[in-house]
Structure 1
């Protein structure tokens, strides 16, 4: 907590929670005491514009969501040059949230000149969390830790 003297605040989220963490990190007009310094997203839903993982979009936005609402809740549409750095990881085999979501956000971050790292591991289902025992995908926590320390 900042009230306890924290100098840097980061967010982490997975799947739909990754979408929420991304929205919080990209909040336009956040004051310095509200802003985060980095975000770590795992197999996150980043776009409400794609048809992939439609159930999350329906839960969040409802059946009749307008294209404008879908765009305004898509992380790639919210990236600005002042956005915080992002660490994004995903798996190519995710049957629920395809890696397209990671690529869309990474493309927007690159276009905005926002520091980021993207790792798409070949194997692994959805809902891996820390990915313990999941082969190479298990490395994401080590990679993220190193990346976070580099964001000073």
Structure 2
């Protein structure tokens, strides 16, 4: 039976059921669109959920809290609180779908990728909210080195200090408990440097966690499924194969 989302998620979740699903529980992926923590991009939400559904994977799009343009106060921890609540709601059966609670993943784009990576690196006190697999698409990762300053300001407010930046730099938060990840970026991304993706993959490798990293030579930021960039669009095939390797398809 479907359970109403908790107040933190009211009006923020869209559930898309897997297509052609057979008997038995299916994995589910939480989709976090990008938007610099100022908005959530439509093309990185439901279209991505429908792609996952076509792979036989349930999906939930979360439109997490964002900071309106012109706001100066810190947004954190509202997005992370919403993401943790969403994973717990999914694992508790809130979607009404037959979900395997041990196969709940997260997929994020840009600032949504930062939220996905932050969610994936929560401590053991939040183990029930930590996903089992992570997909990061041109993610913001570091809030220190080659940071996307727009995301930093939206998330932490103006004049964030070094300690606050370090605490939410996902590459610093990785541990042996962090789930495996599929990460992709483009080498000439003019908004979020590719070093962000590399830093996260390197941190996983150093922690002994499996990571698959794809860097495409060229492509603008915000491509989503990359329908208008055929070479980069192969990320969806590679990701589907990675999910198959995890036993999610």
TM-score per shorter chain, which class?
Answer: over 0.9
2:237 equivalent in structure 1 = 142
Instruction: Tell me, in whole angstroms, the C-alpha distance in 1 between the residues paired with 2:136 and 2:113.
Output: 5
Larger radius of gyration: 2
Instruction: Tell me, in whole angstroms, the C-alpha distance in 2 between the residues paired with 1:44 and 1:51.
Output: 12
1:6 equivalent in structure 2 = 99
RMSD of the TM alignment (CA)?
1.4
- Cα deviations by residue, 1:84-123 (Å, 9 ceiling, x for unpaired): 0111000011100010101111111110011110001011
Please say if residues 52 and 96 of structure 1, whose CA atoms lie closer than 8 Å, have aligned partners that are also in contact. Answer: no
- Which runs of 5 or more residues in structure 2 are unaligned? 1-89
State the Cα distance separating 1:33 from its structure 2 match. 3.5
1:85 equivalent in structure 2 = 180
Instruction: Tell me, in whole angstroms, the C-alpha distance in 1 between the residues paired with 2:105 and 2:125.
Output: 14
1:35 equivalent in structure 2 = 130
- Cα deviations by residue, 1:115-143 (Å, 9 ceiling, x for unpaired): 11000101110000000130210100110
- Cα deviations by residue, 1:11-65 (Å, 9 ceiling, x for unpaired): 1110001101111111112555422110101000001012432111111112222
Instruction: Tell me, in whole angstroms, the C-alpha distance in 1 between the residues paired with 2:163 and 2:224.
Output: 32
- Which runs of 5 or more residues in structure 1 are unaligned? none
1:62 equivalent in structure 2 = 157
Q: TM-score, normalised by structure 1?
A: 0.93
Count matched residues: 152
State the Cα distance separating 1:5 from its structure 2 match. 4.1
Q: TM-score, normalised by structure 2?
A: 0.58
Q: 1:67 to 1:94 in 2, by over 3 A?
A: same
Q: Secondary structure at the match of 1:135?
A: coil
Instruction: Tell me, in whole angstroms, the C-alpha distance in 2 between the residues paired with 1:101 and 1:76.
Output: 8
Q: Secondary structure at the match of 1:89?
A: strand
